[in-house]
Amino acid sequence: MPAETIRLLISCTDTRGIIAAVSAFIAQHAGNIVELDQHTDDSTGWFFMRVEVEAEGFGLSRLSFGPAWSPLAARFSMDWSVRWGGDLRRVVILASREGHCLHDLLFRWKAGELACEIPLVLSNHEDLRPIAESAGVPFRCVTGPDKSEQEQTLLRLIRESRAELIVLARYMQVLSPAFVAAYPNGIINIHHSFLPAFAGPRPYHQAFERGVKLIGATSHYVTESLDQGPIIAQQTAPVGHRDNVQSLIRKGRDLERVVLARSVRLHLNDQTIVACNRTIVFD
């Protein structure tokens, strides 16, 4: 198993000396940098940085890091966050009737590919209960004629689970602005992405009728604007004249599984920073 690390994310206005100051701070506290990545956005002049430090031998603890780091952060007016790799995030998964993404996430989690805890699966249908319970994860079905009451119940259950991340694994409900605002940059969604785009029902049938040559999947953070949040990951697959509607759907599901899992893994590993509706991905 890899050694536990401390992951530090930084964003601020670009200026000379940031990397040197951060490196010196870590060295001053007996830290060993095992990974450092940075990016400057030329269009905004904004600087982004991800630093991974060995936890063993580091001279600061979870409690002492903030007070020690704050003067340097103030010097460069940084937005920052730090996480000890051993502190696993709690993730709640929401799904409806299609089980391919839920299956995949739970399989990867049980296989140790996703470093998190999954305390709960929520749905607006009973169809996927066997999938969750076979993985040893509690399942709750939340439905009803009143959308507002339904959302309040979802929020209560999510808060009681102490979740930090919500994953929409083909959850076929539109979340209200109030729901989204409760978890800024903390909800990840997956959906098909066709070139050209086909909205509404039966998108794969529309794509087949148009003879598309490329289909894809997009995963993004959820914002108030439907399917317009900062993109985390995308992937495409070619389509040929021998494909039919069923093979398009199968290829689309394969893409959705892989792209959603990759996005969740990037988030859990603190490899994303959201800025101006764009996502900086240190992969």
The answer on pLDDT for 65 being more than 90 is: yes
Task: Note if the pTM is more than 0.85.
Answer: yes
For the chain, the structural domain boundaries read: 5-84, 90-281
Place of tokens 């439905």: 143
Give percent above pLDDT 90 in the chain. Answer: 86
Secondary structure (3-state) at 273: strand
Q: What mean pLDDT comes out for the span 36-57?
A: 96
The token pair that represents 252 in the structure block? 């689309």
> What's the confidence (pLDDT) of residue 202?
85
CATH superfamily, domain 5-84, is ACT domain (3.30.70.260)
- Asked if residues 47 and 78 have their Cβ atoms less than 8 Å apart, the reply is no
Q: What mean pLDDT comes out for the span 162-168?
A: 98
Give percent above pLDDT 70 in the chain. Answer: 99
The answer on pLDDT for 1 being more than 50 is: no
Please tell me what DSSP assigns to residue 175: P
Secondary structure (3-state) at 117: strand
- Asked if residues 188 and 166 have their Cβ atoms less than 8 Å apart, the reply is yes
CA distance 4 to 57: 11
Q: Over the Cα atoms of the chain, what is R_g?
A: 21
> What's the confidence (pLDDT) of residue 75?
98
> What's the confidence (pLDDT) of residue 195?
59
CA distance 217 to 174: 18
pLDDT in tens, 242-266: 999 999 999 999 999 999 999 999 9
Q: Where are the alpha helices (DSSP H) in the chain?
A: 18-28, 62-75, 100-110, 129-134, 147-160, 177-181, 203-210, 245-268
Region of poorest pLDDT, from 35-49, 106-120, 194-208: 194-208
The angle, 0 to 180 degrees and rounded to 10, between the axes of the packed helices 100-110 and 245-268 is 40
Sign of CA dihedral 7, 13, 14, 17: negative
> What's the confidence (pLDDT) of residue 193?
84
The answer on pLDDT for 196 being more than 80 is: no
Work out the mean pLDDT of the chain and round it to a whole number. Answer: 94
227 classed as catalytic: yes
CATH 3.40.50.2020 is right for the domain spanning 90-281: no
Domains 5-84 and 90-281 share a fold: no
- Asked if residues 165 and 185 have their Cβ atoms less than 8 Å apart, the reply is no
The answer on pLDDT for 280 being more than 70 is: yes
Active-site residue, selected from the candidate residues 14, 227, 270, 283: 227
> What's the confidence (pLDDT) of residue 199?
73
Q: Residue 123 — pLDDT band, cuts 50, 70, 90? A: very high
The answer on pLDDT for 2 being more than 70 is: no
pLDDT in tens, 23-44: 999 999 999 999 999 999 999 9
